[in-house]
Amino acid sequence: MTKLQPVRGTQDLIGEEARRHGHVVATARRVAGLYGCTEWSTPIFEATSVFSRNLGETSDVVTKEMYTFEDRGGDSITLRPEGTAGVCRALVSNGLTQTLPQKIFYTGPMFRYERPQKGRYRQFHQIGLEIIGAAEPLADAEAIACGWQILRELGITESVTLNINTLGDRESRDGYRAALVEYLSRYEGELSAESKVRLVKNPLRILDTKDAGDIRLLEKAPVIYQHLNAASAAFYDGLKAALQQMGIRFVENPRIVRGFDYYNHTAFEFVSTGLGAQGTVLGGGRYDQLVEQMGGPPTPGIGWGAGIERLAMLLAEPPALPRPVAVIPMSEAETEEAIAVAVWLRNQGIATDIGYRGNFKRRLERSNKINAMYAVIIGQDEVARGVVTLKSLDDGTQREVAVGDLAAAVS
């Protein structure tokens, strides 16, 4: 029989990996709550048009990476490759565009067919935040600040740098697009095949190229700051001022455009050197047309997403599991009393283990294997007197404790 293995690009989260993953989610959920976010959970698959129409027909995700299939009803369905589009669809579908702003936190699996590599999988997991219905640069700064605080409380900010950019409004972007096309057209023969296509369909995406030749050509290319109108420049200045007031350091990087077509104004990435080569661990930007593209009214938004796997790899140590208390009956005759004690301890919020089989010696050995802090030993004599024997598994000392005092004794 063929040995079954996880599908390429997927992984099982077990033991330490599961603890790292859970710690990232719990930390992000708690910090997002400090910023007034409520948690949403959207389906892992949507109508394909939710993504293909709104992420941009020239984005790598749409052209190369989406898991798309036809269901039994003949509808085109796509496993979600990112979280923002589904959240905006949910906002419109649930009639929430009249109750703005909405501050949203989400977490869950995403799917992209790409080459698996360190910290990057075909089924991966994200945390994300969206602030929908706020047009002010302070909202962008708050979204960035929340991401920074999550990274800080995970203890990984020493290896992380915040890069920011502006894409301007439509007028600014159109002017910059024309200048970029004029410049790159002079070197069209030297561009990579992919950038030649983008030069026609979406020139700004060339700024996101990984081709070394393209990168060299871009060194002398026009930058967006030269083409910002007054409104876009004021918005960008407002963002930088708010970040400075919050004490958040940043580097201006005119090459950041993000991967999807729906972004405008703010674009940002938290880049880490802790994974060997530089890599983005959290990134996002402003999207003021996306909700309208979903069929809602014109609605501004700002948000980000972060890969949990990459964040988990940067943690110095996974959080330790709470050490349990092991309840051990001396014989089968005390099993009923042992169960009652275990139930009572758990109701007091104390992690408690009770073995299912084996004699007293084997159960005591198991308590050491699971790194229990105490063994609660219950024999006939203890039952008769309403006490238990409490043994410290660190130093071997033991004493009798009344059952009513047990929770305080092991806390």
Amino acid at 196: K
Q: Would the annotation count 126 as a binding residue?
A: yes
Helices (H), 35-105: 48-52, 60, 84-93
Distance CA 124, CA 310 (A): 10
Cα 327 to Cα 299: distance, rounded to the nearest angstrom: 57
- Cα 299 to Cα 39, 54, 134, 139, 140: the distances in Å are 20, 15, 8, 13, 14
| Contact (CB, 8 A) for 302 and 312 | no
Query: Is 112 marked as a binding-site residue?
Result: yes
262 is in an annotated binding site: yes
Q: List residues bridging with 266 in a β-sheet.
A: 166
* Residues 278, 280, 286, 292, Cα dihedral to 10°: 130
Distance between CA atoms of 378 and 381, rounded to whole angstroms? 8
CA-closest candidate to residue 283, choices 308, 264, 261, 307: 307
The answer to the question of whether 263 is labelled as a binding residue is: yes
Helix (H) or strand (E) holding 168: none
How would you classify the pairing of strands 251-252 and 160-166? parallel
Residue 179's H or E segment, with its range, is helix 170-185
Q: Checking DSSP bridges between strand 45-47 and strand 68-70, what pairing results, if any? A: unpaired
Mention every residue, 6+ apart, whose C-beta is less than 8 A from residue 137.
235, 236, 238, 239, 242, 265, 266
Q: Are 156 and 315 in contact (CB under 8 A)?
A: yes
Taking the CA atoms of residue 250, residue 254, residue 258 and residue 264 in that order, the dihedral angle to the nearest 10 degrees is: 100
Residue type, 232: S
The C-alpha atoms of residue 19 and residue 301 are separated, in whole angstroms, by 32
Distance, CA of 124 to CA of 11 (rounded, Å)? 9
Q: 274: annotated binding-site residue?
A: no
Measured CA distances, 264 to 59, 251, 300 (Å):
15, 19, 10
Residue 19 counted as an annotated binding residue: no
**Which residues are annotated binding-site positions?**
82-84, 112, 126, 130, 258, 262-263
**Which residues are annotated binding-site positions for L-histidine?**
82-84, 112, 126, 130, 258, 262-263
